[in-house]
Structure 1
Amino acid sequence: MTDNHTSEKKSRSTMSRAATVIKWLWLAMTVAVAVTTVISANSGLINPEKMTWPSLLAMAFPFLVITDVLLGLINLFISKRIAVVQWIALLCSIPAIGNWFPVHPFSSHHEVSDDSEIVRFMSYNTFGFADDENCYPDSTNRTATAIIRSGADIICLQEVGMLVDMPARCLTDAQIDSINEVYPYFASEEEKMVSILSKYPLREISLEQPPSPHSGWQAAEVTVGSDTILVVSVHLQSFGLNEEDKIVYHQITDGSVSGNMTDAGLIIYHKLTDAFKLRAAQADMLRHQLDSLGYRNVILSGDFNDIAGCYPMRRLLGRTMKSVFRSIATGPVITYHSDRFFFNIDHTLYQGDLTPIRYRRGDIKSSDHYPLYITFLIDR
């Protein structure tokens, strides 16, 4: 009887210790997720040229937010004190959550005065007019058709050189003629593969370019009635992953991680960190030039190759510019849809007398990017 009592007491003691260990492990995990979320939310404040790992962490921010919400709900039934940790982390991350998941359900209801001028705008990384789905209806190029039918007054293009006949990509002379007819004004930085198309008269503005190939910008002064707008088409440094890197990334996301993938993973890591640093330097370079030009009305748009709230975007925003997506869009948006990199990396910034009243992401998948359609008012 005494032995049984002693055994039961030891068993209860062991279970109590195990429960305590589990409780502390759960608390440690909860705090770790909360702290990681706050760091990720504020990673855009840290220059990648000085420290790159926060920029990598920022890419996981949406998943961290979802994890915080789930843990916060679970902890309400386990310990309300622990649950507070999650909700504090979410409160500290509200600005970053707004960058990822803005909420403006009534943004389309905007009064247009008689003095206002409407400008329809499009931004599109064309993927060099290749078709990501290898689909060429009636032997024509879907990307070119989307540009022709966009209804935009001004278009910023990336990954586009000279508009010439491309039989292998079904970009026909007829489509090129249509683009030139609809958009008689054109400015292009061919080496950097960025362009601006316009129905309005424009004057090309020369800017210093970054040394990295296929990343850069094209600027033009566009005259809309009595107003002048500086339009900048931007393509910041890409990660530069080759097909082998993408295969490794697919294996990692499939959970098929093996020891011999370590070296390949390190190569990808270094490519990512190098790109973060280059984009930071490019954003600094472009921001200095924008400041020196001194335009009141500015539209800066293109492929940033980074998420909203990142350091390059914060640097380009400065104190005067705003993000169209953050200002009027609702819900998370994916603008890049290839190779399992499902991120919002195409952005449009604005300042001055411009007011965005509509934001729409297109659905065409001919390019590895979706096009963006934005309507601006010029307030007079």
Structure 2
Amino acid sequence: MQTRSRTLTAVAAALVLGLTAGPLAAPAFASPAGPAAAAHATTGPDAEALRAALAGLPDSDATAALVRVGGSDGTWRGSAGVHDLASGRKADPNALFRAGSTTKVVTAAVVLQLAAQDKVDLDAPVQHYLPGLLSSAFKPVTVRQLLNHTSGIQSGDGFGDSFEDAYAHRFDTLTPKQVVASAVAKGPEFDPGERQDYLNINYTILGMLIEKVTGHSYADEAARRVLRPAGMHHTYFPGIDPRIHGPHNHGYQAVKQADGTTKFDDVTEWNQADRWAAGDMISTTADLERLITHLFRGEIVPEPQLEEMFTVPSNIKGADMSAGLQRFEYGGKVYWLKSGARYGYSAVVVATRDLSRTLVYSVNSTDAKGESMNPVAQRIALAALK
């Protein structure tokens, strides 16, 4: 089954808990372990805390981590861990990785550009643009409700509910059309605009909308409208190709064995076709930093459409998701974030609206789809945003 993004809310929750419950137990200070790590600092961010956050990799929680902290307050860059467990070679700090649901930032930006060009009306029902996609069981679902996850459309089916099921089909193709068809067959979960429920299906349908309105593929439109203008020259959409092309660090999933031991399955190669406009992007930390910087400066999406990315539904209790982003407050500041998690890889991009502080990380998590936030990712977030 297509699952909700647990990491999305876990980042904010972990930061809030870290603030209200007092300091977390910090690891003993050390430079990231030996030849498998590197970091350097300039001014602003707490370099000591960030180095400590990366200390000891690889460990049972993550095999590598890449971090970029930026903004007008100063910069810090760091990496730790290994390229792969077999060789123990130092992790590549400029590696490509599966960026997961950070793809949604790009998808939202494309849709908002189309809205600025009067090619899409955010208040118009998606049924107008994609007639026949949703059954008569669905009330009109606006484009804006897809963007902010208030559509009421249920999740689509995948290759199974467990890691073992999904892993067995990692080289098979499940098309976006198949995913949407399985979601539509379930009928609506709630009336549009009634609640907010983060699901990939909303952005899968937005990918279809982009293709219908433009007459071009989603990947081509995303590259033309967002990737190239933002200078994201190392970012691409793999389609049905299970490989990561270019320098990359391997991803692993920890799997408990019957005898109580843990095996680490290499999950680097995986066909992500079903995630598509909701989460199949491959990127780098530098490219994601460029994305959020150019986007927040108004260089990708013009006003007033950019305001959609900083607006959460005011009529829904507890709503914190906007078009492509999530709002949270920490330390007296408002941050906007997007996370992404695919097996073996966890990524986050976070920024204040004024870009005084930005954070991008990729953590090669050994349980990227787990219920709780990865401990290494949590240490990084708390160190970077303190």
The structure with the largest alpha-carbon Rg is 1
Higher relative contact order (CA 8 A, sep 6+): 2
Instruction: Please state which band the TM-score falls in when normalised by the shorter chain.
Output: under 0.3
TM-score normalised by L of structure 1 = 0.25
